[in-house]
């Protein structure tokens, strides 16, 4: 079984990116498990807090889930043509302490997806993530790109994808990334 951990970059209860990842879990091949994480409980990064109290429990738990996974899917919203602060903050915490990066992040397969109500998808946010992922030594899958525009029209009230073409593309994306993660 290939285990993928999926992180939505939004805290909103009705997040399109969390919904996208729940659909990815549903559409994954039978030999692939997609577990959706949350960023709730992760405080703003503060070096004084880290020095005084160490790594927060919510961060440690997420780091352990990443380390146990075969690959990581990041679903990034696009805020003001860039990356969301809450997601960047979580990645900054996850990279602490630097000595732990090799175990948790270095050479870990990662894929980017994203959904937005806007008309251009999350192309700019996904592109903005590239230097961060390179710096941390993650191994980016470039075999597929999935940017979802007009998210308000393609999810129903329960967060299910209603666009059959997108459902097929999402299933293919997850299968392709799982093959890469097994690498």
- Average model confidence (pLDDT) across the chain: 97
Q: Residue 108 has what pLDDT?
A: 98
Q: Residue 144 has what pLDDT?
A: 84
Kindly state the average pLDDT of the residues 32-40.
98
**Tokens matching residue 117:** 């109500």
Query: Does 183 have pLDDT greater than 90?
Result: no
Other CB atoms within a 10 A radius of the CB of residue 152 amount to: 10
Q: Which residue has the tokens 């093959």?
A: 179
CATH fold, domain 2-182, is Rossmann fold (3.40.50)
pLDDT in tens, 83-108: 999 999 999 999 999 999 999 999 99
The pTM score is 0.97
pLDDT tier for residue 174 given thresholds of 50, 70 and 90:
very high
């Amino acid at each position: 079984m290939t285990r993928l951990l999926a992180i939505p970059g939004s805290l909103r209860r009705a997040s399109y990116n969390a919904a996208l990842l729940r659909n990815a879990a549903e559409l994954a091949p039978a030999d692939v498990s997609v577990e959706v994480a949350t960023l709730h409980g992760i405080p703003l990064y503060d070096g004084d807090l880290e020095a005084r109290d160490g790594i927060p429990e919510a961060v440690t738990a997420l780091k352990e889930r990443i380390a146990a996974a075969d690959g990581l899917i990041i679903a990034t919203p696009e805020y003001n043509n860039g990356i969301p602060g809450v997601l960047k903050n979580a990645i900054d915490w996850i990279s602490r302490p630097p000595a732990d990066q090799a175990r948790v992040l270095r050479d870990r397969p990662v894929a980017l997806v994203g959904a937005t109500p806007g008309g251009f998808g999350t192309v700019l946010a996904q592109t903005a993530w590239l230097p961060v992922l390179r710096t941390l030594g993650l191994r980016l899958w470039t075999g597929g790109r999935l940017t979802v525009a007009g998210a308000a029209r393609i999810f129903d009230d329960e967060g299910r994808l209603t666009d059959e073409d997108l459902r097929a593309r999402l299933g293919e994306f997850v299968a392709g990334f799982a093959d890469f993660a097994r690498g």
